[in-house]
Chain A
């Protein structure tokens, strides 16, 4: 399950690890006892029913909020109250996360500007990132001139341009239509292969979670706990048609769904 003690040459220290992570708002405990590691270069999907605390977990993992219990370590260092360097975040609400007064290229380049990158260089980096997400030619448009799917691509380009070691995405495709979602999913997979970035993607869509991930973290129960960490042994590269036709796909999906439905109370299930 966890690979943290494996010292083979391809596995290093986990890039992200949570220890006894929990969070409560006042008296209300939302998350409890979360222990897991994320290996570098891995794609981890976090899936669970609405309200289970996925967003809270994300906020704790990214450093946007300090957990009330436990710790999160990124690249070996504990995350405090601010997001660590080397981590980029893609938010669900792309409309609100992009700045409407900046052109697309300026939106993508802003974090670089703040990091002190010179104008010529950051424009180049931004343009490249936009090209990679398929938005070449849209640099000088405003975000609100683009469709929802394109806006989310801008957000992804922004994360990419930031040259992170890990990208954390909060239900990034929840607000786009199915066809666009499929395209964006494949885009994210491609980016991961090309750049070897670790990706954590939170979603409520089980199909999406299975399709994209190397492992699935199922959150369920009240308060939210890890119901299971499922290995996804589907062939790579993934494909919207053939992968989803694999029998293993259905099995994994069923397993995840069952866990969620039962609120995480699956009696000593066989863990891979």
Chain B
């Protein structure tokens, strides 16, 4: 118990000091772009507790989740197929390597071209950005399957679907989750980018709009809100990952 408190203490003291320092140092600030922290907190309270939640936070989150799940699902399914059917994977590699290197900003105009400026474009770009890390990591995960298990599957006449669900997918899941973890951060970026370009609404739009209207404290509150969103999503993801991969953690812990 004491050990845990100590640990928490070490983790918290610096953030607290930083926030306090920021508050104190900025309290008398006259700078237009760097208002006092107290004002920012005020703005935050006004904007995000809970006025803009239904209008901006919730739609953003919905689109993010939709795009993320689409991208992940496609990435897993296609990754499983490509991981198992080697020649196909070889053939597709130059294309995937190429698209993987295409940042969301570069693909943005094409997405706008194909999907317009509305919700389809936003979801599409999030899905696009999520797809590649998940795909590539799933392929690697599948290839890392112990070859002996192939013999086991043959020897015990395990059906194709069962092989996919109970062998290839779980074997690939540690790598898969690593890819998905990257995808979480990338999809937050893609979400923000799409909202700064597309139709009004969403947190990215909020920040941009605040900046254009010179509502600086609001702009800051939006930035902080985005940070919190990303942080919470990452932590949630880690929780899910720990749960699903508990077998893997146990195993690697024992194997040192």
Contact = CB atoms under 8 A, between A and B. Distances in A.
Contact of B247 (A96, A100, A158): A100
Interface stretch (B19-27, B132-140, B146-154, B224-232): B146-154
A121 interface: no
Interface in B142-164: 146, 148-149, 151-152, 154-159, 162
Contacts of A197: none
A151 to B, nearest CB: 12
A91 B152 contact: yes
B255 to A, nearest CB: 8
Contacts of A100: 247-248, 251
Given A91-B148, A114-B162, A144-B254, A99 B167 contact: yes
Interface in A79-107: 82-83, 85, 87-89, 91, 93, 96-97, 99-102
Contacts of A191: none
Chain B, interface SS category: helix
A158 B156 CA distance: 9
A197 to B, nearest CB: 15
Interface residues of B, number: 23
A101 B157 contact: no
A135 interface: no
Nearest to B251: A144
Q: Which of B156, B162, B166, B255 has the most CB of A within 10 A?
A: B156
Contact of A114 (B157, B247, B251, B254): B157
B250 interface: yes
A62 interface: yes
Interface residues of A, number: 27
B254 A101 contact: no
A195 interface: no
B158 A99 contact: no
A142 B250 CA distance: 9
Contacts of B216: none
B247 A97 contact: no
24 contacts: A64-B151, A64-B154, A82-B154, A82-B157, A83-B157, A85-B157, A87-B155, A88-B156, A89-B156, A91-B148, A96-B148, A97-B148, A99-B170, A100-B247, A100-B248, A101-B171, A110-B156, A110-B158, A111-B157, A113-B162, A114-B162, A142-B247, A142-B250, A142-B251
Given A62-B155, A91-B152, 12 more contacts: A63-B154, A64-B155, A83-B154, A97-B151, A101-B247, A110-B162, A111-B157, A114-B159, A142-B251, A145-B250, A145-B254, A162-B156
